Amino acid sequence: MTRRHVPRDLAERLLGGPVVWIGLVLLTAFALGPFIWMLLTSLKDRQELYATPLQYLPVRPTFENYVDAWTSPVTPFSRFFLNSLWVCSVTMVATTAVSVLAGYAIARFRFAGRDALLLIFLATQMFPSVLLIAPLLTQWRALGLVDTYQALIYSNFSFTVPFTVWMMVGYFSSIPRDLEESAMIDGCNHFGALCRIVLPLAAPGIAATAIFAFVVSWSELLFAISFTTETSMRTLSAGLLYMVGQYEVQWGPLSAGVILSTIPVAVLFSFLQRHLIHGLTAGAVKG
């Protein structure tokens, strides 16, 4: 409140008023404009879609494109959607289990090579996934795993596990040791203390990390196109690309597909935004 009485200079008055408002409007329009255009496109019928001159708003909004995309026998979007749902859910659960254990070990036990291990997990996050395609494909072919969900799920570990371990170490380190130690004196073993004391306390963070693993797997494209050949095995990302590859691009159903694949991640993200931003910046922003 006292700040109000200090005289402001011209630059500050400008920045506080119109510049901020114009900036915010431009920023929001720039971020959302492309989505809104895609949404409008998905609601137009063929005639409106390819009208000259361009028709901006759908006069007769229709959900035909959504029905087409969802039920198309050539590019079965419903199948892509379920494939993605399954692959991402299993990836999420497995990744979380693995990284809870590893994160706990790194946060609680002092052992040789601990820092090196953390560094490896950090470095792998920067890893180019294109590098892994040829060797992983060779590996999956040798194991007969091409066109299976397992190949996609295992491959997803290469980018989900390093990140989630890193996040878990952060969460567990912030929980005081005394709690577990008293539990262990009362007769709990390590695993019991982890399950009964540490996990409940770290639950919000773990949930956020798990959802993040889901979201990044949802976006994964290169593994999905490389390790599956059958249409029925494609995930959403791969399926959308496949829709482009069929004949000429059908922008109507494709735009509906784009909107449908955006909604789940957008909804999930709005829930975990606060946690995620905290986790992402915790390493970087310090006192």
Partner 1 sequence: MTTLSLPRPRTRPLISWRVRKLLIGYSYLVPAALCMLATVVVPIILAIKMSLYADVLYKPQDYRFIGLGNYVRLVQDPVFWLTLWNSVVWVFGSVILQFVFGFAAALLLQQAFRGRALVRTLTLLPWIIPGVVVGLIWEWLYQPNYGVINDLLIRAGWMHERVAWLSSPDLAMAAVVFTNVWRGIPFFAIMLLAGLQAVPDELYEAAHVDGAGVLERFWHITLPLLRPIIVVATATRIIWTFNYADLIFVMTGGGPANATQITSTYTLLQAYSSLDFGYAGALSVVLLLVMLTFTALYLRVTKGVEETE
Taking CB under 8 A as the criterion, which residues in 194-253 touch partner 1?
215, 218-219, 221-222, 225-226, 236-237, 240-241, 244, 251
Binder to partner 1 among 130, 178, 185, 187 (CB under 8 A)? 130
Residue 68 contacts partner 1 per CB under 8 A? no
Per CB under 8 A, the segment of 21-29, 72-80, 175-183, 203-211 that binds partner 1 is 21-29
Residue 43: other Cβ atoms inside 10 A: 21
Smallest gap from Cβ 88 to partner 1, in A, equals 11
> 143 is written with which tokens?
């194991």
In the complex, minimum distance from the CB of residue 33 to partner 1, in angstroms, rounded to a whole number: 9
Provide, rounded to whole angstroms, the least separation between the CB of residue 144 and partner 1.
Answer: 15
Helices 251-282, 199-219: crossing angle, 10 deg rounding? 140
195: Cβ contacts below 8 Å, ≥ 6 apart: none
How many residues contact partner 1, by CB under 8 A?
97
Stretch that binds partner 1, among 67-75, 117-125, 170-178, 203-211 (CB under 8 A): 117-125
CB of residue 139 vs partner 1: minimum separation in angstroms?
Answer: 7
Task: Report if residue 82 touches partner 1, rule: CB under 8 A.
Answer: no
Q: Confirm if 220 and 235 have CB atoms less than 8 A apart.
A: yes
Report how far residue 6's alpha carbon sits from residue 26's, in angstroms, rounded to the nearest whole number: 30
Binding segment (CB under 8 A) for partner 1, from list 10-18, 65-73, 75-83, 198-206: 10-18
DSSP state letters, 174-240 = TS-HHHHHHHHHTT--HHHHIIIIIHHHHHHHHHHHHHHHHHHHHH--HHHHHH--SGGG--HHHHH
- Write down the least CB distance from residue 158 to partner 1, Å: 4
| Whole-angstrom distance, CA of residue 179 vs CA of residue 173 | 13
